[in-house]
Amino acid sequence: MCRWLAYSGSPVRIEDLLYRPQHSLIDQSLHSKLGAETTNGDGFGIGWYGIGDTPGIYRSIEPAWNDRNVHDLAAHIETPVLFAHIRAAIGSAVQETNCHPFRYGRWLFMHNGFIGDFHKVKRDLVLAVDPSLYPCVEGSSDTEVFFFLALTFGLEDDPPAAVEASVGFIEAVGAKHNVEHPIQMTVATTDGNRVWAFRYSSERDSRSLFYSTDVATVRALHPEIEILRELSDESRLIVSEPLRDLPGVWNEVPEASYGVVQEGQDELQPFTPRPPLRQGQLRPRPQALL
């Protein structure tokens, strides 16, 4: 079980998001309240957008609370979009290539949850990854395979459809291998402009996920919080568990739904897994799907 945070909005110093708040993500790495595990000490990662064509990522297998480098980086980097993730490994090795967020081109992807009985279904899932993407898989985690499935199924063109196709496919493969609950997930992905966040599980009992109330409202409710004065009204946080204990600030993402944080009106939509083949939404890669 893991914890993650996605931020989109006015450029802020990373430490203001990771270290400053009460019950910050770094605190949660030691003392999660809502996680399936209280300790998330099996790796850490951040992704951010600044100079350069792709987002920067920093990933480490040290527990986040110990890592002096990330503390220093957080104090010296500002970004309009931040992904941060702390890992509690379930089975796969603790190594940087298994740390979230994963990156492909301008895209980041991170996940709290798991693919059920991954050792049973891994081979079938990996075979469905587009052969041109296959060599980019570097680690051994379920999430990286999930990400490359989503890329195979069109993540760069239509993220909700691609994630629905991936989850539909994972559930179909799981069913074939008699996996009781093929997937458990909250997932976030971004291209640096928009952020998509998904909450879903095959058993319809998904990990917690919250989004922040709009900044204008929070500012009115909590005028004492200084950082809010500097944030644009568009700024938004999505988190595995609330960062501060602030009435009126956190809203649960409903079961089986996803949200889009974007310029203009944000959206909240139902999430429905769809087996990819029936939907015809795939770029044709028959050899990959047999």
Return the ∠ at Cα 94 (arms to 238 and 2), rounded to 5°. Answer: 25
> Taking the complex as a whole, how short is the minimal distance between the CB of residue 98 and its own copies, in angstroms?
9
Q: How far is the CB of 26 from its own copies (least distance, A)?
A: 13
CB of 184 to its own copies, least distance (A): 19
Across the strands, what pairs with 84? Answer: 5, 46
Shorter beta-carbon distance to its own copies: residue 57 or 221: 57
Q: What is the dihedral of CA 130, 131, 132, 135, to 10 degrees?
A: 110
Q: Are 107 and 155 in contact (CB under 8 A)?
A: yes
Smaller CB distance to its own copies: residue 94 or 220? 94
CB neighbour class for 223 (10 Å; exposed up to 12, middle 13-18, buried from 19): exposed
Q: What is the DSSP string of 176-213?
A: HTT-SS-EEEEEEEE-SS-EEEEEEETTS-PPP-EEEP
Phi, psi for residue 269 in degrees, rounded to 5: -130, 155
Nearest alpha carbon to residue 110 among 98, 121, 120, 122: 98
Coil, helix or strand at residue 124: helix
- By beta-carbon proximity to its own copies, the closer residue of 73 and 221 is 73
Closer to its own copies by Cβ: residue 78 or 158:
78
Minimum CB separation from its own copies for residue 25, in Å?
Answer: 16
Nearer to its own copies, 42 or 164 (CB): 42
Q: How far is the CB of 147 from its own copies (least distance, A)?
A: 15
CB of 51 to its own copies, least distance (A): 6
Q: For residue 208, which of 10, 55, 68, 28 has the smallest C-alpha distance?
A: 28
By the criterion CB under 8 A, which residues form the site for its own copies?
13, 30-31, 38-39, 41-42, 48, 50-52, 56-63, 65-66, 68-69, 72-73, 75-78, 89, 92-97, 119-120, 122-123, 126-127, 131, 134-135, 137-140
Nearer to its own copies among residue 7 and residue 271 (C-beta): 7
